[in-house]
Structure 1
């Protein structure tokens, strides 16, 4: 127990890490793209699992994003599985507070090839919006009217997304690549003038505007080194995500849709995790994250400076 407590404390203080929402729209925690995957000739030693996750992320501005997620994996057979993630998210910032059901993630993962040293897995998935991404607040900052808030404060991205990915896993290494494509635009209508009573208008203008946003295509690469022992494991790695096409929306001061400049480019996080297995059924893991590089213009509100994620996993 002393060793466990010491390792958890060390990981909380010194590991850099990954989390959903770390400049991605969620696909980095789906199926073959998930971190900290065990090497096995089957999809999983246990064909069913349920994970309860608590997440806290800080943004580039004042919003702090919290989420509680139920992540359920059902093995269809020894070589394929189905995953569903149901998040509840709440956000606190100086513009206001919001809360509600987040986007639903669905994915199917298949073991494509197995050898004595490596597994190759493939995933197809989708994200289903819980709303149109245009929640409002009504407070002293808005002058007592309902004002749409920036995407940082939204529980939903407001779009239907298609996702695909592949991973190569050994006992010590995980390499994964994925792509996420937004198929529809959202209905976010945030404008700076919606918060006329906020005391620092210069701060309000730091929120990048892109109304009715259609996000560009994201591609990701995960490189992760794992160290596994009898009851615990830890990992270190990197997660670069590149937006290869420009976002599209209605920019500030315009009524016409246009490509939004400076929305392509690299977002890079370093990552790490610590896990402890009480027995074959029960385990916990801690993931902590820090951003190193980000895109210049972020109307989607996905950027996180730092993230902490704590999970309990039950396999059955």
Structure 2
């Protein structure tokens, strides 16, 4: 056990030293939609805040609140609202980000094996064109991608292992970003005028470790996220232009540690960092590391 914790800790230290980017357009953080304690409580409230560091010294503070209703042992529905503050050389900009609605169906467990499925939507609170003093901002300062997204996923649980796959599809694009690097005085961020983002596919493997007293749970996991095409923007000539290198694979490592205060209350700490990144990240989701703390109350 000690060797496992040491190895995980060493892995994250090395990754943090060499990190180049970490992404979550929503697909990485919907894993809670596969989790349920309906056999005990019908309602769960989660309040969390996430801290992150992005490109060009942009820092992020991103709280969220979520509510899950377990209708029975099979069906649950989750809602979530996000907020984000970005601070960097352009200034500070804060805004609500997105709202999520996620439905989950869990099949009956058999031989310590259990499947569940997930269907959900993401709704933006803005058009990804937040400004400071009238000046257009790159996607790194935006609190939302400005897209209405569909989520489809499935999870397979076997003993201490969880494997889940999901796809995030931008069904309707309402992104009205107007940032051009040619007019900004810096090349730190790519042009994203009228940005259009492609879909993401995810594969995640998680292993759960519980201490003998059942108070602590450790969940090291690895996420493979494939961006299914090159993003694009409208250039200064009014022509749509693909962003070369914006497609491809991202591999993120994540360590989640939970402390069970009692049957109704728990606290969770998560640390994430990338191991492999795409060549270009125009969506503004680049992170060198992400740290989050979450409080959960069940009733």
TM-score for the superposition, normalised by structure 1: 0.84
* Corresponding residue for residue 282 of structure 1: 265
> Superposed, which structure 2 residues align to 1:1-316 within 5 Å?
16=12, 22-30=22-30, 33-34=31-32, 45-138=40-133, 146-185=134-173, 186-195=175-184, 201=185, 204-229=186-211, 230-251=214-235, 253-316=236-299
Distance 1:44 1:25, change over 3 A: farther
Q: What is the distance in 2 between the residues matched to 1:43 and 1:208? A: 46
Deviations 1:240-281 (A, max 9, x none): 100112213224x44211332211101111111111101110
Structure number with greater CO (CA < 8 Å, separation at least 6) is 1
Unpaired runs of at least 5, structure 1: 1-9, 139-145, 196-200
What is the distance in 2 between the residues matched to 1:234 and 1:243?
28
**How many residue pairs were aligned?**
284
CA–CA separation in structure 2 for the residues paired with 1:163 and 1:233: 27
Deviation at 1:215, TM superposition (A): 0.7
8 Å CA contact 2:99, 2:124 repeated in 1: yes
Report deviation, 1:61: 2.1
Which runs of 5 or more structure 2 residues have no equivalent in the other structure?
A: 1-5, 16-20
| RMSD across aligned positions (CA) | 2.3
Q: Give the superposition deviation at 1:65.
A: 1.3
> Aligned partners of 2:275 and 2:287: how far apart in 1?
10
- Match of 2:28, SS state, is helix
Task: State the TM-score, normalized to the length of structure 2.
Answer: 0.88
Deviation digits for residues 77-120 of structure 1, max 9, x if unmatched? 22111111111211101111100111111110001342131221
SS in 2 for 1:216: coil
Alpha-carbon distance in structure 2 between the residues aligned to 1:13 and 1:218: 28
Quote how far apart the aligned CAs of 1:13 are: 7.2
Q: What is the rounded CA distance, in whole Å, between the counterparts of 2:39 and 2:10 in structure 1?
A: 30
C-alpha deviations, 1:155-191, integer Å up to 9, x for none? Answer: 1211111111111123411101000011233111111
Classify 1:49/1:173 alpha carbon distance in 2 versus 1 (closer, same or farther; 3 Å).
same
- Alpha carbons 2:138, 2:192 under 8 Å: kept: no
Runs in 1 of length 4+ with deviation above 2 angstroms?
12-17, 42-47, 192-195
CA distance in 1, matches of 2:67, 2:39: 13
